[in-house]
Structure 1
């Protein structure tokens, strides 16, 4: 199908191309008679003319599109929730979202400077933070930019940042477990030594240090950077990791003689929750399963399940708000630290 052009409309209407362009531009200040404008617009409709959005964006200096730099699969609930919040926040502001693939930093900076994008949002994870080259180009060219989950809440940066208060989430969850009468915690800790994991581990040890009546047992989950990479790329590897984790938790519970009614299995990763819950239920339904990030199970449907939930969708919406603010006059860089929310569910034997 051939799209009609301004030249085609001009030929049928008997006007110059420039007159047709002025007549179809709602913001044009060139004086044209109402008859001329209505004739040209009628012919354009009859011919099925659609304005060239890219050309208009270049003329206006805006693409109404924000580029999102994320190198994790959207099949992971954590990143799907963030992108969902981003999409909603941008849509509310009349903007679109474009997921960007890996490429040199200069390519995306030039895309913003060339009006193909209006700004960039970088989604970090583990120890994957804003690359030095990208941060330098953002600062140099004043590109609207927001970084999420890069651990920059206590540092001055040349752009706005949004981070999660992992420590507050640990304290919140430990207070809940203590109130439930928990006296033993199995800490399912990844072998991945990342910034977020370091924060969570320190917070767990600190919280239990203040609660001497609660004992701690660390159970490594076996996932490190190399295993994580394979799990992200291959579903078969996801199943293999789940089986490995299941075996580790099984062996830990069989070795000890813990009181299920006073014991919690604490998952650092939401992705581990379903496997750990399965093992706990197999041994004794009185075990509590707790997580420092939400998983795929709904607490209202699974007794003795409790989450310290990261505000993932809220983080996405805040990034949308901040990227718009970065594009306006008199912009100021904000550093947000979002606290998790407790999702306590229902202890076994209680009514909803």
Structure 2
């Protein structure tokens, strides 16, 4: 096997000093090098297969070149695209991500957080935000750089990158209103999550504006099982008979699908269903699910960008970045039934 190319090899072939190579191949310092020279250095580095040594760079800059990414549930289909977006921004800049999964446990999150602190990560991206998020508050007090993604942590002034959840819910209710629905249930997620609160509040406001009777029902988790359980209780004993359901996410909506079928009801002939997130395969459900598409990959990219900006500027700045969402209309929504079969 041929020996690994070194920075000296690149410098010799490009006809420059090794320090010039180092600056040309570092996005933080490439502007200090003449554009033509930088282009030649990059071409030689590619020719030789030279890869910058991030460990050596870290020793020079007192940086580990690593980022801790804390995810609540890697089995939830929305999080892998977020992680891919994070990595797509970090990798070209010489950073690596340590991704850990908490399974929704605050105790597990604390253990993993401290482990990553001991590994001297340069900052964190939290996807685990909720009201009273103690780890985020503690990290902020300790001056640790971090960004919240998908959810924020109310009361902790970290930057947050989120989708425009309120607009997505409003578009969902307006869509159902145009189809003639006047009784709509919202299956909301846990009240401690900012996403749940924003979506539930937007639902109530949209129904009030449009003269629609809307009722909010809380699920204890963003899961298929929770969605089915809550929808069972709506149909079996709530006294409220909706012709449409707006779910807090696609997993809850899938649980609604299961409940409706067990009760002998058809989608959308008896009840229309709208999800949220447009997770993979939502278009392959039977019927294909109308849902709000959130740009999860872009959320990841933007959260990584904000964090690296913090690291480079050594400043903690509260900033909320909201990315647009889009209602994707499929076959799970249709006209309101004139004579609902469950009345």
1:250 deviation in Å? 4.4
Alignment of 1:1-20 (within 5 A): none
Contact preservation (8 Å) 1:272, 1:295: no
1:122 maps to which residue?
A: 126
Q: Tell me the equivalent position of 1:44.
A: none
Higher mean alpha-carbon deviation, 165-174 vs 329-338, is at 329-338
Shift of 1:137: 1.8
Which residue of the partner structure matches residue 277 of structure 1? 257
Residue 297 of structure 1: how far off its partner (Å): 4.6
CA contact under 8 A between 2:249 and 2:277: conserved in structure 1? yes
Structure 2 residue aligned with 1:188: 187
Residues 1:296 and 1:128: Cα distance change in structure 2 (over 3 Å)? farther
Matched, 1:146 2:147: yes
Tell me whether 1:288 sits opposite 2:293 in the alignment.
Answer: no
- In 2, the alpha carbon distance for the partners of 1:273 and 1:188 equals 8
Paired residue for 1:137? 142
**Structure 1 counterpart of 2:97:** 97
SS in 2 for 1:283: coil
Structure 2 counterpart SS, 1:133: helix
- Partner of residue 65, structure 1: 66
Would the aligned equivalents of 2:83 and 2:300 in 1 still touch at CA under 8 Å?
A: yes
In the aligned structure 1, how far is the partner of 2:7 from the partner of 2:279? Answer: 55
Once residues 64 and 184 of structure 1 are traced to their aligned partners in structure 2, the CA distance between those partners, rounded to angstroms, is 53
Matched residue, 1:308: 292
Q: Determine the C-alpha separation between the residues in 1 that align with 2:115 and 2:240.
A: 55
- Cα distance per residue 1:89-111 (max 9 Å; x no partner): 22343432112564486765564
In 1, the alpha carbon distance for the partners of 2:52 and 2:189 equals 53
Equivalent residues of 2:86, 2:304 under 8 A apart: yes
Superposed displacement of residue 315, structure 1: 0.9
Q: List gaps (5 residues or longer) in structure 1.
A: 1-20, 30-49, 232-237
| Partner in structure 2 of residue 172 of structure 1 | 171
Please tell me whether Structure 1 or Structure 2 has the larger radius of gyration of its CA atoms.
1
Aligned-residue Cα RMSD (Å) equals: 4.2
| TM-score, scaled to structure 1 | 0.64
Alignment match of 1:215 (pick from 213, 225, 244): 213
- The 1:168/1:132 distance shift into structure 2, 3 A limit, reads same
- Label 1:193 to 1:80 Cα distance change in 2 as closer, same or farther (>3 A): same
Mapped partners of 1:83, 1:58: distance in 2 = 26
Provide Cα deviations, 1:30-83, integer angstroms capped at 9, x if missing partner: xxxxxxxxxxxxxxxxxxxx998635532354443222133x121122322321
* C-alpha distance in structure 2 between counterparts of 1:331 and 1:256, whole Å: 51
Identify if the C-alpha distance between structure 1 residues 107 and 25 changes in structure 2 by more than 3 Å, giving closer, same or farther.
farther
1:332–1:189 CA distance, 2 compared to 1 (3 A): closer
SS for the counterpart of 2:142 is: helix
Give unpaired runs (5+ residues) of structure 2.
Answer: 1-5, 12-16, 20-50, 101-108, 336-343
Report how many residues are paired. Answer: 285
1:166 Cα offset (Å)? 2.6
* SS of residue paired to 2:200: helix
Q: Deviations over 1:278-316 (max 9, x none)?
A: 333541231210124445652365447321233322111
Report the 3-state secondary structure (helix = DSSP H, G, I; strand = E; otherwise coil) of the residue aligned with 2:124: strand
CA 1:106–1:296: 2 relative to 1, 3 Å? closer
CA contact (8 A) 2:290 2:330 kept: yes
Cα contact 1:106–1:137 (8 A) shared by 2 = no
